[in-house]
Amino acid sequence: MLVVVCIKQVPDTTQVQIDPVTNTLVREGIPFIVNPYDAHALEEALRLKDQFGFRVAALSMGPPNAEATLKKALALGVDEAILLSDRVFGGADTLATSRVLSEAIAKLNQREQVGIVICGKQTIDGDTAQVGPGIATRLGYTQLTLVDHIEKLDPFQERITVRRKLEGRHEIVEAPLPVLLTVVREVNRPRYPTVPMRLESEEAVVQIWSNQELQLDQNGIGLKGSPTWVSRIFSPQREKGEIVGDGAVDPAGAAHLLVDRLLSRDLLVV
């Protein structure tokens, strides 16, 4: 069985700046990292490999420099890495992105049975959480989101049981394979590559698939196939804070002043 893990190269959001003139991200000089949620997806795929002996393929869509992200996956132990890179893929929204990724997974499935696809819950540069479900829908796979633990996997019966982290509670779900999982941070603690594997990955080959391999209609991918787009990115303006009263000397008086101020702005209902 083949386990496919989808990973994405994203800008380090702790260092992202916005051009005040164009209202776009300043990418020059900004380091790129593996999307943190995808690092947990990668670790979970590798744990399945350790436990069951599955093969693991890492899949990413992005520009040529995203090869570095896949090299990191190879250093951690994936068996093959594939970069989907073509100018016609550029400018894709979540709909067009899921179309390309699902087609690549279907192509992998033609040569080896894909039983499990694992994605991070979302990416930190988009935060939509739509690509994983989009892939599952296109492939007709069972979709299990927000997974924080794989309770049981039976490869012979082709059944999986997972725990989903919901708001204020957990949910145990059993489903048939093939399945797509999106995982949250609590699912595991990612491993670090060993020095020998890191050195070996430098010589490893990352496969590059363009649209020549996928043969997708260009009107349905990239910018042409994206019905949504970002019209503007901006940092919200924040008003300066103020100190109300003297809480150290007169805490009761300060509390009354705060309540009065909140009431005057309709921020408090009594």
List average pLDDT for each run of 10 residues in the chain, which is 270 residues long.
Answer: 96 70 64 92 97 97 93 95 95 93 97 96 88 96 97 96 95 97 96 90 92 94 88 72 83 88 80
pLDDT for res 230: 74
State residue 59's pLDDT score. Answer: 97
Cα dihedral: 198, 45, 50, 66 (round 10): -10
Query: What confidence score (pLDDT) does residue 212 get?
Result: 94
| pTM attached to this predicted model | 0.83
Q: Cα dist. 124→127, 128, 131 in Å? A: 5, 9, 13
The closest of 75, 80, 30, 77 to 60, measured between CA atoms, is 80
The pLDDT, as a whole number, for residue 242 is 78
pLDDT of residue 51: 96
Q: How far apart are CA 115 and CA 176, in angstroms?
A: 10
Nearest-5° angle of CA 219, CA 225, CA 230?
145
- The SS3 of residue 99 is helix
Q: What is the pLDDT of residue 25?
A: 62
Rounded CA separation 183/19 (Å): 33
pLDDT of the residue at 153: 97
Tokens 């499935």 appear where? 109
